[in-house]
Chain A
Amino acid sequence: MAAVAQTTPLSRILWPALAWTIALIFFFPIFWLVFTSFKTDADAVKPEHLFFFTPTLENYANMTENYDYWRFAINSVITATFATALALVVGVPAAYAMAFDPSRHTKDILVWMLSTKMLPAAAVLYPMTFLTKNMLGLFDTHFLVIVVLCLINLPIVIWMLFTYFKEIPKDIIEAGKMDGVSTWGEIKDILIPLAWGGIASTALLTFIFCWNEAYWTVRLTTIDAATLSKLIEGNRAPEGLFFGRLSAVSTAAVGPIVVLGWFCQKQLVQGLTFGAVK
């Protein structure tokens, strides 16, 4: 009979205390960001106003007055939503094929897809600018941002879905085949209902990645398709301490995604830990 682990009074206090400490360390930057957003730029850098200050909404008022926050926010919603949808539209059939009808090259393809994430983005900045601006005329369009965000995240999407699909017994899919269900029917009527939790987790994570992407969304847009990442980038100032203003813009940019993550944390945790414990 296996020995049952005994919990001592010390460990009952120590582990929760450690967990709380780590959680607070991780949460502190978010807390400080929001906290600073209610300070004036002058108060934000004064030690005497580190914790005690007169809260102000001045930075949020400036944000909507000086910048068209809602235009940036709507662009973020449009690009992140459609890029996620497009990635799933491509990723689900791709992962289905690899999970249930693998060839001898499937593993190589999976590794190759992941290796594309290792390419430094800066290396292709000039060709991307030339291609999208001079040849395709797509610069600063939602379409371009959606396609780029989709392509950036596609390897992760396919890998995650592949991992989920591998957990589904192959016999179920084959039973469908025996009953004469088409490939599309297998995906739509068998696979998606069975793997719905995994697909939702993948979609959520992809949406978060798309929302937070900053390198390409800043560099492939000007006005029309600029997202919240560009709004934050534009508030960084090398000469001038505008930390209150920058904190307000950053809070408003990450706010929607933090709220979304809060409501969907169960699916997110499931997505992030899937396969870790069996």
Chain B
Amino acid sequence: MKSLFNTVAAVAVATTGATAVSAQDLTIAIVNNGHMINMQKVAEAYTAKTGVNLNWVALEEGVLREQVTSDTATGGGQYDIINIGMQEAPIWGAAGWIEPLNFSAGYDVEDILPAMRAGLSHNGTLYAAPFYGESSMVMYRKDLADAAGVKIRNNDSWANVKGAAMAMHDPDNGVYGACLRGKPGWGDNGAFITTVANSFGARWFDENMKPQLDSAAWNEAVSFYVDLLANYGPPGSEGNSFNEILALYNQDKCGLWIDATIAASFLENPNVAYAQSPNAGNPVGANWLWAWAMAIPAGSPNADAARDFIEWATSKDYVQAVGNHPDFGWGSVPTGQRASTYDIPEFKAVAGFAAAEMAAIDSAAPEATDLKPYVGVQFVAIPEFPEIGSAFGQEMAAALSGAKSVEDALAAAQAAAVSIMDEAGY
């Protein structure tokens, strides 16, 4: 027994001591997706050039947010670089949880798409550099639309989009007119429904940050969404988000799909066409804006080395490195971050969606306006939003499944939003 205790103690001491990290190590928390995984391989060249050893920690999006939040809230130190999204960047920048980013002149910060810069800044200071970005757009089966004699135009009216979905809807042959997010979650159905609501003139909060989910515009927008998806969507839509719909689309079961522009690079049916997101006549439009960006937690002991790495990983040189990499090529370069990427002939030759994606990102407006007095398109850049958005997502899924009426679901979401905002002191 004594020897067992000794062994345990020895292992404990040895392993506790093993956490010491050399000055040339960087620990990077990343969300698991294709671009980020590719970066691990492309960055081998960075390590070879600089001698900086990179430790990657890949996490699922929700767990990444949770872990980075708890790390940052407890003073940081666990990671030198973190992947954060557009919802967190301005909030965390304002709170001083992440470092402002100042790069060398050669970085060409003006080349970063203006909408991305605006969404990742607070009071004009950039707090996170975009690694890749996305908006949302309509992706539809041109062969089905042509056969049904319908067209979907850029910024088409919702009525026409619904008409196209109706015309392509053929459930007997396994084709559903419209595939849209219905799975509850602020980043799932919450994101899509918010963009629809924006285009109907609805808004989450008024100028005094009082919730507005009980407005007529919200009722009209959500009623339209429920009607469209319940009548012309696949069965069980309340369980569908990006991945589920991507699988359906690639099984040729969707007429049209409105979702993240990054989806275009995963679509396999060659008969795909793109259109800018629909609109109900409101200037805010219905296309969202998102970026996965890289930031440095305040308190990182390796802030300078971290800044150098971010400068490289979000630079024009990185795009070239991926495009010329023998394992990847121009179809794999991260998009939605820099204007210059869309001028590269090799990229344009392989990315049929490039022009549509660029137009969608360009037209997204995350900044606060008179119509929408807060930062964010498909979210609101306040710390309370994930909680409010999650409650909202649950209610919308209930409305979609028929468990609640649209009115009841919106009333419940409004009550939750009021309660959370009151508790937060707004």
Contacts and interface: CB of A to CB of B under 8 A. Distances in A.
Interface of A: 42, 45-47, 66-67, 78, 82, 85-86, 89, 125-126, 129-130, 133-134, 138-143, 146, 188, 218-219, 222-226, 230, 233-242
Contacts of B37: 66
A235 B59 CA distance: 7
A219 B67 contact: yes
Interface residues of B, number: 49
Given A143-B12, A234-B58, 4 more contacts: A129-B70, A141-B15, A233-B59, A239-B242
B12 A146 contact: yes
A46 B250 contact: yes
B251 A133 contact: no
B264 to A, nearest CB: 12
Contacts of A134: 74-75
B190 to A, nearest CB: 14
Interface of B: 1, 4-5, 8, 11-13, 15-16, 18-19, 27, 31-34, 37, 40-41, 55, 57-61, 63, 66-67, 70-71, 73-75, 77-79, 187, 241-243, 246-247, 250-251, 260, 262-263, 266, 268
Main secondary structure of the interface of B (DSSP, over half): helix
Contacts of B57: 222-223, 226, 230, 234
Contacts of B266: 240-241
A235 B32 contact: yes
Nearest to B71: A129
A78 B11 contact: yes
A239 B33 contact: yes
A120 to B, nearest CB: 14
Contacts of A66: 37, 40-41
A89 B246 contact: no
A215 to B, nearest CB: 10
Contacts of B247: 45, 241
A67 B60 CA distance: 15
A56 to B, nearest CB: 17
Given A238-B242, A239-B242, A142 B15 contact: yes
Contacts of B78: 133, 139-140, 222
A239 B32 CA distance: 9
B33 to A, nearest CB: 5
Contacts of B16: 138, 141-143
A45 B242 CA distance: 14
Given A139-B78, A142-B11, A234-B60, A223 B41 contact: no
Contacts of B1: 89, 188
Contacts of A140: 19, 78
A47 B174 CA distance: 13
A237 B32 contact: yes
Given A141-B19, A222-B79, A238 B241 contact: yes
A173 B375 CA distance: 72
A170 B81 CA distance: 60
